[in-house]
Amino acid sequence: MGFLNHFFGTKRLDLDPSYLKKWDEDGYFILEGAFSEREINSFNDHVDRLWSERRSLEPPIVIDFWEGDLNGQRILFKDAPEGSRKLVHKLNNLYIDFEWCRDMCLSPVIVKALKKLMSRDPMIINSLIFEKGSQQPDHFDTYSMPPPEGGNLVVTSICLEDIHPDAGAVHFYPGSHKIPPYIFSDGGVRMTDSSESTAAEEYTRAELKKRNIEKVPFIGKKGDVLFWHAQLYHGGGKIANHDLTRKSLVTHYWSNFTPPPPKKSLKHAESAYYMHRKHPSPWT
């Protein structure tokens, strides 16, 4: 805990100025060892228990699959077939129903950092558990979840194990948050029409080249947390060894500003909120 004791006080945030400078210049920073071995193991035990007891699960949690016979499907987690945990997947929004997930996403060390970055209290808008590398194409998070006008969006990724370079690590493009956002035909930054994705990517690639920005992988250790800016261009690397896992908890936060909140928000702890929402519907 020496790292945390140095950077975080018990009553206020003492985030070293160098981290805020990195945030401004590069659009991300990493808190090493933010969670203990015990805390991460406890979280992983909860996830293991959900998998083993999923058939009797009442909340309509959904899981997305990106390979195998289930590729491109979103189904109820309780219906996930035997062996499907080994496939590339994303387990969605456990925070809605499980306090142990909210405790991790809104841990004091994360909330303090988010308040410094947002200048407001944070609110979870979704949580995603990955056990394999996502291999997602490069993108900006504002393509799918831009914050309401006047709000903020910040993302965290907590390493639930040591990340191996061959496991399809997250990568990002330092400084890409300074690229002026691509404006879609409806005048916004949200990608509502996939036919515009090629033009948006061509624009971004040209801007990256002009700025000499190259991608950097995040090879984190168990308990590390990566914070990244809403406009940081990032994606999932190719999995070189499918026997490897890349366990992580990714959480997106909006600032919980009022009046009025973007959707109903519930208080989890002091200065920590989460969005009250329904689970997404399954689709195939």
Model confidence pLDDT, tens digit, residues 218-268: 999 999 999 999 999 999 999 999 999 999 999 999 998 755 555 688 999
Q: Which residue is listed with tokens 């997250």? A: 170
Residue 7 has pLDDT above 60, yes or no: no
164 falls within a domain = yes
pTM beyond 0.85: the answer is yes
- Containing domain of residue 134, as a range? 2-275
Q: How far apart are CA 78 and CA 53, in angstroms?
A: 8
Inter-residue contact 96 to 82 (CB < 8 Å)? no
Q: What residue type is assigned to position 67 of the chain?
A: E
129 falls within a domain = yes
283 falls within a domain = no
What average pLDDT does range 67-84 have in this prediction? 96
Rg of the chain (C-alpha set)? 18
Residue 56 has pLDDT above 50, yes or no: yes
Q: Give every CB contact of residue 33 below 8 A, 6+ residues apart in sequence.
A: 1, 3, 4, 221, 223, 224
239 falls within a domain = yes
Res 256: pLDDT: 86
280 falls within a domain = no
38 falls within a domain = yes
284 falls within a domain = no
**CA proximity to 91, closest of 102, 100, 78:** 78
Question: What CATH number is associated with residue 29?
Answer: 2.60.120.620
Residue 74 has pLDDT above 50, yes or no: yes
130 falls within a domain = yes
97's tokens: 């129903």
224's tokens: 């590390």
CA triple 120-140-158, angle to 5 deg: 65
Res 149: pLDDT: 79
Which tens digits make up the pLDDT trace of 88-125?
Answer: 999 999 999 999 999 999 999 999 999 999 999 999 99
Domain count, the chain: 1
Inter-residue contact 250 to 186 (CB < 8 Å)? no
pLDDT > 90 in the chain, percent: 85
Q: How far apart are CA 147 and CA 230, in angstroms?
A: 9
